Amino acid sequence: MTAKRINLALQGGGAHGAFTWGVLDYFLEDNRFVIDGLTGTSAGAMNAVVLASGFQENGVDGAREKLEEFWRQVSQHAFLSPIKRSPIDIALGHWSLDFSPSFLAFELLSRFSSPYEFNPLNINPLRDVVESIVDFDRVHRCSKLKLFVAATNVFTGKIRVFSEKDVTLDAVMASACLPHLFQAVEIDGEPYWDGGYMGNPPIYPLFYNTGTPDVVLIQINPIERRETPKTAREILNRLNEITFNSTLLRELRAVDFVSRLIEDGKLSQDEYMKVFIHRVTTDELKPLQASSKVNAEWAFLKELKAMGRRAAETWIDSHFDDIGKRSTVDLRGEFG
């Protein structure tokens, strides 16, 4: 069987990025796909550069090994953090930190103090993890797949997309820089924040830089919830989900608009590529509280990985034959 070519778009979402790890691991293991392009933001950007580095070093096996090594190191660094689940959370079987005194204290501090005040040394353990795992020289030499990492320019409010040729450690950290937690990352004399504000993830680089029409979105943040948030934490969580999905929704509407013009004969398919959108996600993520995004316990990360593998297997079984033929997401029905 000839492997099918796909592009992957990886959302950010803190520790929930381990779900994406599971999806990637299954896709790589399945061996029926060739990845042409990867675009990612925040945790999605980290998954993307780790995969690219490992792939350039030792193909599919190298990519899978690097991803596991990355998430294991994330967990090991988190073990030393004072921000952990409370005995109440553990007793209730919650992966959230909603009853953790250290988490609640830090959450309160971050609302009244900036990272320039409570973290003047700009300490970020994730930076050390990425630096130890990713060989950026290998990423720059990666010729078998296109890589795109997004960050938000603080001065202009515009998105900046770094390609595999100019992705650096700073670019990855900028892509994951939540402004209430970390100081802005300076690149070329300009400050950058989390790319999710302007693209979570951006998918347009895939249209312009690969000839592959199929884009598989690995979605962490739910677009729709059918209940009204009522507590302060629920409201903040839903606002964050809406904010970080807004630019993605605009891009998907644009894809649908161009597709309709092609179908109606108003645009030539010789000049415009009809894009097929697919999505791997799971309802298992929806019950998880926002605070679980900072929970990097190994048991939790492994559970998220298992969710990702199950979701990937289900999606491939249902939609493998659709790759190259049609979208498996009803863009008009969901986002029109």
| The predicted structure's pLDDT at residue 234 | 84
Letter for the amino acid at 56?
A: Q
The reported pLDDT for the residue numbered 309 is: 98
3-state helix, strand, coil in the chain (%, to 5): 55, 15, 35
| The pLDDT value given to residue 335 | 66
Q: What percent of the chain has pLDDT over 70?
A: 99
H helices within 80-95, ranges in order? Answer: 87-92
Q: Is the pLDDT of residue 283 over 70?
A: yes
What is the per-residue DSSP string for 220-257?
-S-S--SS---SHHHHHHHHHHHHHHHHHHHHHHHHHH
Q: Decide if pLDDT at 336 tops 70.
A: no
What is residue 111's predicted lDDT score, i.e. its pLDDT? 83
Q: Which of 204-218, 285-299, 322-336 has the lowest mean pLDDT?
A: 322-336
In tens, the pLDDT along 113-157 reads: 999 999 898 989 999 999 999 999 999 998 889 999 999 999 999
The predicted model scores a pTM of 0.94
Whether the predicted pLDDT of 321 surpasses 80? yes
DSSP 231: S
How many Å apart are CA 214 and CA 202, to the nearest integer?
15
User: Which stretch, 10-19, 246-255, 270-279, has highest mean pLDDT?
Assistant: 10-19
- Return d(Cα 281, Cα 5) in angstroms, integer: 20
DSSP letter (8 states) at residue 274: P
